[in-house]
Chains A and B, each alone.
Chain A
């Protein structure tokens, strides 16, 4: 199946030669939705910083703009290049993670950063799209009858386990679980048999409690225990959850009004510019604002799923679905945490929370999704 070596086969494809033509071919609904979510972020950061433009809202806006350019640049790159670069990128990500192991900058007790002098880089952010690229390529290349095979499974497991182990050592439980869940979702999507799924579930039921006991640091255990029973530590870790719930609950249906959140003004919810920004939405715009935000996210995810359907190649489908899964997991974990349904782990609300690396990573991911869609007609080599 090595036909269509160089032809560009978008739905109304003219040629892969015209960048301008390609730009028109991009699915503009997705970038528009992403931009709208980003603007919600600008507004909410503006509120969270008490209306001081330069305390984050401005930076966020420029980052969204930068991210959009970055996204479109990636989108225009032929998906076959991404296919070819999948493993190299994965290896670079792995190398950076190993670098963190030795040269990581320690912040708040965990070393997640690499300092390159001019800029700091968080290799785990690189690993999020990288693992999707690698697994998508892995399953694209893997004949379908091997998917549920021991060797087939083992390959995926190795690809997944190496970065997970390195990130867990940083330690960064949130990202580890995010990576793992994305990987598992990809394995599932690739068509692993229900028999294997059943066995794996059984194994997980035994392994997770053991992991909790022996694989986690004390503070990580404490966080999960506190989440289970918030009265354990009312002023410590669960203070976050309680104040966050007060902010949301006191917002009611209509909210207290833009810039009128008292929980926010009183600085009761820490980190409400970053991970806990949904409390500002919930407090100032109420249930309506919360549901609209969630609706926007659902629209983004829905569009992505639809885009994956239009792709021919396994790699493209899995690439889109894997990245969408990561994006959705960000949202689920973050909202679950803010609403007191999940433990407090440092996961931002994508595109809305303040923070440059995440915006770049997420928008880069959407770039890949757009690229996969834009080049949905291309044939990728696949061994039968």
Chain B
């Protein structure tokens, strides 16, 4: 037993010693841990604090509110509206396809829409909301809201959209907005373009005034968690988004709507064509309308296939901006240019009469006057008044094409204008060089004859015709059109015509509308409105041939427009200005296949010109006041 006790005692000593060893070992480990904690929390604390902030904060882009577009009186043409939209948050939707099926039951999703949603979902982190459908109408929106509990991941929210309240008559001018494409992003390094919900101007004023309208993005400091979801926001007033500025146009929205109403027909819907009302002093465009109009809101919400088909198959081509991009033979409205060229050349005595038998023979070709029986003896003024083709066939042979083309260009034809809407064409003022370059053949006398009555190669847009008329009315300056208020303007070039020549032309134009026998004569051009009584206008008709008239037709006399198919009817053209003595507004009107210029286009022009004058005197109506102070 003593041995055992001794060994027991020995055991005790050993175990105590070894306990101490392990105890100190443990203390050492605690020491090492403490040192490590000191290293992390004292020596490297700053670094880790920075890393922690790095983790914690993100900067989210704040989208600016887009500027509005208004007419000259402040009426809103393009505004920001509430956009009811449906979005999906993929991480909350357990089965995306099934969820979309359910949404489809309430609001149809096309296969292409679903394809886009799938693509967006794939390209973004799971917590990023993806647009399912926007511009949902209120009924659908509320129906979806009712069903939300059964649609995990679907959120119905109200966002900022764009709407064009004025019946589509500004669609061509305003253009529309859309998501930035890859080309837009390549051209513009503004990070806003990469935001999936941001929209930029695609066409029209929306595109040309993008810089003004867009504004600048802001930043929102947000605290995010490890999965990138926002935990808290730290708003800072200094980093808010800068809203875009409004753009004011020179247009008068009520006049534009009035003009659009004039294109309505009883049985064939809206006529196709374009009209432009320009201030002859300032060049401000009061109306710039292409008909038929279309609803630009359709483009905002995404065109359906049936809308697209309907537009593309419409022979009146609603999307086509005819007022600046439609090139038409100006027909007899071109005769003012020929007259001016004749007067300037000194080769023609305006009093000298030319006999019109109804046709002229040049070489072996016969050129007909519109009046087959002929006008008889005509001087220059009468020739314009009655629009005698033979007279112009005759004098144009003497002056030649080059002076005519020169005058036409100085009057504003054959060039495109920068009016902040893309797509305007230059039209054609043909001459020898043009024909050589274009067709590779030499200029022939017949070409001159055709050009002298605004047919053949000559092409002009309603805008150009309005500019031409404005310059004739202005006398002194080469008026140029403009559309956006506030754009820096350089003074107009001098027009450089003999004022006496222009006065002669204006007088002839007055005779067209104001003397019995003029092709567009009316006793009271502006109707019976008392405020416009005594005001006279000047103008010129034009009937643009769409097709050659066959000898057989000539023989049988089948020429009346209503008896040929719409597509083959003549274009109806009219230019004019008023008041005759103190010109204020000039108008260029083309009605596609509208028949004689003395009728459709002249009627529209008279009505619109009258309305323009009336509005100019009265100022904006009460309705216009409401929009101006917003």
Q: Which residues of A contact B (CB under 8 A)?
A: 1, 143-145, 185, 188-191, 243, 245-253, 262-263, 265-268, 270, 282, 286-287, 290-291, 294, 297-298, 301-302, 305, 308-309, 314, 317-318, 321, 325, 328, 332, 335-336, 339-341, 382, 384
With beta carbons under 8 angstroms apart, the residue of B15, B42, B44, B48 that contacts A317 is: B15
With A248-B37, A249-B40, A332-B33 already in contact, the answer to whether A314 and B49 are too (CB < 8 A) is: no
Q: Which residues of B contact A286 (CB under 8 A)?
A: 41
Contact partner, B41, options A145, A263, A282, A301, Cβ 8 Å: A282
Instruction: Tell which of A251, A252, A268, A317 touches B55, judged by Cβ atoms closer than 8 Å.
Output: A268
| B48: chain A residues within 8 A (beta carbon) | 245-246, 248-250
Contact with A along B29-43 (1 / 0, CB 8 A): 110111011101110
Expressed in whole angstroms, the minimum distance between the Cβ of A306 and any Cβ of chain B is: 10
10 contacts between A and B (CB under 8 A): A189-B19, A246-B55, A248-B37, A249-B41, A266-B224, A267-B225, A268-B225, A294-B30, A301-B26, A305-B23
Output the nearest chain A residue to B37 by Cβ-Cβ distance.
Answer: A290
Chain B residues closer than 8 Å to A290, beta-carbon distance: 37, 41
Which residues from A are CB-within-8-Å of B33? 294, 332, 335-336, 339, 341
Residues of B with C-beta under 8 A to A382: 8
Q: Of B7, B22, B51, which one neighbours A189 at CB under 8 angstroms?
A: B22
Minimum distance in angstroms from B223 CB to a CB of chain A: 7
**Interface contact B41-A266, CB-CB below 8 Å:** no
A248-B48, A253-B45 given; A328·B26 CB < 8 A:
yes
A266 to B38, CA, bound (A): 24
Known: A265-B225, A332-B29, A339-B37. 14 other contacts (CB 8 A): A144-B8, A189-B18, A191-B14, A191-B18, A253-B45, A266-B56, A267-B227, A282-B40, A298-B30, A321-B15, A325-B22, A328-B29, A339-B33, A341-B36
Complexed CA–CA distance, A183 and B8 (Å): 22
Q: Is B352 an interface residue (CB 8 A)?
A: no
Task: Count B interface residues, CB 8 Å.
Answer: 44
Contacts of B36 in A (CB 8 A): 339-341
B629 sits at the interface (CB 8 A): no
**A interface, over-half SS:** helix
Point out which of B19, B41, B42, B53 has the most chain A C-beta atoms below 10 A from its C-beta.
B41
Chain A residue numbers with a CB within 8 Å of B225 are 265-268
Contact of B11 with A by CB under 8 A: yes
Contact A291/B15 with A245-B48, A249-B44 known, Cβ cut-off 8 Å: no
* Contact of A250 with B51 at beta-carbon distance under 8 Å, contacts A189-B15, A191-B15, A290-B37 already known: yes
* Chain A residues with CB below 8 A from B55, complex form: 243, 246, 262-263, 266, 268
Contacts of A144 in B (CB 8 A): 7-8, 10-11, 14
Residue of A nearest to B232 (CB): A265
Q: Which residues of B contact A (CB under 8 A)?
A: 1, 3-4, 7-8, 10-11, 14-16, 18-19, 21-23, 26-27, 29-30, 32-34, 36-38, 40-42, 44-45, 47-49, 51-53, 55-56, 223-227, 231
Smallest CB separation, B2 vs chain A (Å):
10
Contacts of A384 in B (CB 8 A): 1, 3-4, 7-8
Q: Which of A265, A317, A328 contacts B231 (CB 8 A)?
A: A265
CA distance A87 to B48 in the complex (A): 50
Measured between beta carbons, the chain B residues less than 8 angstroms from A243 are 55, 226
Selected from A253, A305, A332, the residue in CB contact (under 8 A) with B42 is A253
Q: Are B22 and A250 interface neighbours, CB within 8 A? A: no
| Complex Cα spacing A190 to B224, Å | 54
Q: Which among B10, B49, B53 has the highest number of chain A CB atoms within 10 Å? A: B49
**Residues of B contacting A267 with CB < 8 Å?**
225-227
The answer to whether A252 touches B42, judged by C-beta atoms less than 8 angstroms apart, is yes
CB distance B226 to A268 under 8 Å? yes
- With A144-B7, A145-B7, A253-B45 known as contacts, the answer to whether A321 contacts B37 (CB < 8 A) is no
Other-chain residue from B11, B52, B53 in contact with A247 (beta carbon distance below 8 A): B52
**Chain B residues with CB under 8 A of A340:** 36
In the bound complex, CA of A259 to CA of B36 (Å): 24
**B227 nearest in chain A by CB position:** A267
B3 neighbours in A (Cβ, 8 Å): 384
A34 to chain B, nearest CB (A): 17
Asked whether B29 lies within 8 Å of A185 as measured between CB atoms, the reply is no
Q: Find chain B residues with CB under 8 A from A328 CB.
A: 26, 29
> Closest residue of chain A to B3, judged by CB?
A384
By a CB distance below 8 angstroms, the chain A residues around B23 are: 302, 305
Please measure, in the bound complex, the distance between the C-alpha atom of A340 and the C-alpha atom of B27, giving whole angstroms: 19
Contacts of B38 in A (CB 8 A): 287
Q: Which residues of A contact B21 (CB under 8 A)?
A: 188
A332 partner residues in chain B, CB cutoff 8 A:
26, 29, 33
Chain A nearest CB from B174 CB (Å) reads 45
* A185-B22 contact given A246-B51, A262-B56, CB 8 Å threshold: yes
Nearest B-chain residue to A383, judged by Cβ:
B4
Contact residues in A for B16 (Cβ distance below 8 Å): 309
List, in ascending order, chain A residues with CB within 8 A of B22's CB.
Answer: 185, 188-189, 321, 325
CB nearest neighbor in B for A266: B225
Note all chain B residues with C-beta closer than 8 A to A317. Answer: 15, 19
Q: Which residues of the partner chain B approach A301 to less than 8 Å between Cβ atoms?
A: 26
Q: How far is the CB of A180 from chain B (nearest CB, A)?
A: 15
- C-alpha gap A341/B37 in the complex (Å): 11
B-chain residues with CB within 8 Å of residue A339 when the two chains form the complex: 33, 36-37, 40
Given the contacts A294-B34, A325-B22, A314 and B40 also touching, CB distance less than 8 Å:
no
A251 touches B11 (CB 8 A): no
Given that A314-B11, A339-B33 are contacting pairs, would A188 and B18 also be in contact in the complex, using a CB cutoff of 8 Å?
yes
State the 10 A-B residue pairs at the shortest beta-carbon distance, nearest first.
Answer: A249-B48, A384-B4, A250-B52, A191-B14, A266-B225, A287-B41, A252-B45, A249-B40, A250-B48, A250-B49
Name the B residues within 8 Å of A189 (CB-CB).
15, 18-19, 22
A189 to B16, CA, bound (A): 8
**Cα-based distance from A325 to B3 in the complex (angstroms):** 31
A245 to B49, CA, bound (A): 10
Q: Which residues of B contact A262 (CB under 8 A)?
A: 52-53, 55-56, 223
Is A321 a contact partner of B19 (Cβ separation < 8 A)? yes
The chain A residue sitting closest to B225, CB to CB, is: A266
Which of A246, A328, A382 neighbours the largest number of chain B CB atoms within 10 Å of its CB?
A246
Closest to B20 in A: A305
| Residue numbers in B under 8 Å from A248 (CB-CB) | 37, 40-41, 48
Shortest distance in angstroms between B4's beta carbon and chain A's nearest beta carbon? 3
Query: Closest approach, in angstroms, between the C-beta of B233 and any C-beta of chain A?
Result: 14
> In the complex the two chains form, what is the Cα distance from A329 to B500 in whole Å?
112
Chain A residues within an 8 Å CB radius of B42: 252-253, 287
A291 touches B37 (CB 8 A): yes
Question: Chain B contacts of A321 at CB under 8 A?
Answer: 15, 19, 22
What is the CA–CA distance of A263 and B18 in the complex, to the nearest angstrom?
A: 42
Chain B residue at minimal CB-CB distance from A252: B45
For the complex formed, measure the closest distance between the CB of A377 and the CB atoms of chain B, giving whole angstroms.
Answer: 15
A92 to chain B, nearest CB (A): 28
Could you tell me the distance between the alpha carbons of A265 and B47 in the complex, rounded to whole angstroms?
20
Which interface residue of A251, A266, A267, A318 has the most chain B CB atoms within 10 A?
A266
Q: Report chain A residues within 8 Å CB of B30.
A: 294, 297-298
Contact partners of A247 in chain B: CB under 8 A: 52
| Alpha-carbon distance between A144 and B15 when the two chains are bound, in angstroms | 11
Q: How far is the CA of A263 from the CA of B50 in the complex (A)?
A: 12
Name the A residues within 8 Å of B10 (CB-CB): 144
Q: Which residues of A contact B45 (CB under 8 A)?
A: 249-253
Contacts of B4 in A (CB 8 A): 1, 384
A252 touches B49 (CB 8 A): yes
- Name the one of B19, B51, B226 contacting A305, with C-beta atoms under 8 angstroms: B19
CA distance A328 to B36 in the complex (A): 17
Beta-carbon nearest neighbor of B51 in chain A: A246
Q: How far is the CB of A256 from chain B (nearest CB, A)?
A: 9
Which of A191, A250, A251, A317 has the most chain B CB atoms inside 10 A of its CB?
Answer: A250
State the Cβ distance, A314 to closest chain B Cβ, in Å.
6
Q: Closest residue of chain B to A320, judged by CB?
A: B19
Q: Which residues of A contact B29 (CB under 8 A)?
A: 328, 332
